[in-house]
């Protein structure tokens, strides 16, 4: 039997509609900054999508383009303007950045209270300690899409394939939070994991964020497992995920498509993080 499709595009529209309704009742619109370094064509598409989605829900979006040659110090200076700007509720520095930029310095340079990406070490620490301020958008989108589709997380064995700072690591921390959206038993696997297929086959929920087109075939998936594909890879045949959708959908009970799965959920969660930051700042009189 073919798997249920977990339609992130449809659900992200609902989330954005709910976000819009909340924003209509605020005394001022939330404001989101996006700093873009260089001309990466994929980043350009993602940033346009974020900007459009923000504007549609009533978030004022300020895109700040920087040249690819900007130094780490120069970028920190631009970030400082966003940190100081009283109207900006949150901002992100779009990744990837050119290789000469020091990512740790950038992560440390965001005002933690405006860090809607949740990448500042303080916010990573709060999430790890179980009292998150900002849950990074992709992990949050994965969890909300599973919840919306009635997939139980609590008590389940989740295997995350990939240990990136953006997805794998914060997702593991989020799934370990106490409560219905966490309480999972989490394994983080990666390219060096021995017996990778066997480890993945233990999963009730398998999340794949490894950045290799169609890497996960049906051999990695236990009959009836839920499979979440975070990959977006450009191939000659068009966009595809890290999961071999055609074979895995015959084994899984539910699966996210690419495109139309986690990608749109990530954008919706960035908007929610921005709205929540605005609400917190308004309560503090900012």
Catalytic residues: 50, 94, 117
**CB 141, min distance to ligand GUN, A:** 9
Reply yes or no: is the peptide bond before residue 18 cis, omega within 30 of 0.
Answer: no
**CB 94, min distance to ligand GUN, A:** 5
Q: Which residue minimizes CB distance to ligand GUN?
A: 95
Q: Which residue has the tokens 């989740």?
A: 158
- Residues 41/98, Cβ–Cβ less than 8 Å: no
Long-range contact set of residues 83-86: C-beta below 8 Å, sequence gap at least 24? 83/109, 83/110, 83/111, 83/114, 85/33, 86/286
- Residues 143/170, Cβ–Cβ less than 8 Å: no
Separation CA 107–CA 100 (nearest Å): 15
Separation CA 256–CA 152 (nearest Å): 16
Closer Cβ to ligand GUN, 88 or 254, answer by number: 88
The tokens describing 228, both together, are: 């979440």
Closer Cβ to ligand GUN, 144 or 204, answer by number: 144
Q: Give Cα 215 to chain centroid, integer Å.
A: 20
Separation CA 158–CA 206 (nearest Å): 6
Closer Cβ to ligand GUN, 165 or 191, answer by number: 165
Q: Write out the H or E segment, with its range, that includes residue 61.
A: strand 60-66
**CB 50, min distance to ligand GUN, A:** 9
Each residue of 203-233: b (16+ CB within 10 Å) or e?
bbbbbbbbeebbbbebebbbeebbbbbbbbe
* Interaction site with ligand GUN (CB under 6 A): 92-95, 117, 137-138, 166, 266
**CB 46, min distance to ligand GUN, A:** 6
**CB 166, min distance to ligand GUN, A:** 5
- What phi and psi values does residue 209 have, to the nearest 5 degrees? -140, 70
**CB 112, min distance to ligand GUN, A:** 15
């Amino acid at each position: 039997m073919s798997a249920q499709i977990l339609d992130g595009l449809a659900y992200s529209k609902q989330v954005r509609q709910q976000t819009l309704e909340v924003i209509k009742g605020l005394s001022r619109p939330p404001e989101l900054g996006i700093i873009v370094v260089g001309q990466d064509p994929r980043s350009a598409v993602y940033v346009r999508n974020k900007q459009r989605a923000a504007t549609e829900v009533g978030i004022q979006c300020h895109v700040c383009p920087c040249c690819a040659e900007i130094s780490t110090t120069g970028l920190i200076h631009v970030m400082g303007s966003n940190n100081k700007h009283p109207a900006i509720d949150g901002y992100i520095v779009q990744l990837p950045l050119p290789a000469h930029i020091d990512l740790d310095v950038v992560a440390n340079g965001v005002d933690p209270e405006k860090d809607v990406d949740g990448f500042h070490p303080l916010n990573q620490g709060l999430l790890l300690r179980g009292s998150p301020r900002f849950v990074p958008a992709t992990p949050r989108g994965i969890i909300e899409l599973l919840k919306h589709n009635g997939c139980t997380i609590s008590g389940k064995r989740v295997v995350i394939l990939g240990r990136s700072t953006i997805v794998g690591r914060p997702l593991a921390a989020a799934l370990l939070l106490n409560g219905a959206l966490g309480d999972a038993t989490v394994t983080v696997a990666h390219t060096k994991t021995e017996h990778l297929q066997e480890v993945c086959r233990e999963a009730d929920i398998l999340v794949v964020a490894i950045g290799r087109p169609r890497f996960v075939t049906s051999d990695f998936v236990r009959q009836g497992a839920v499979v979440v594909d975070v990959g977006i890879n450009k191939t000659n045949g068009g966009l595809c995920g890290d999961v071999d959708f055609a074979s895995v959908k015959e084994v899984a009970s539910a699966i996210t498509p690419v495109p139309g799965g986690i990608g749109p959920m990530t954008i919706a969660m960035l908007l929610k993080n921005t709205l929540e930051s605005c609400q917190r700042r308004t309560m503090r009189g900012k």
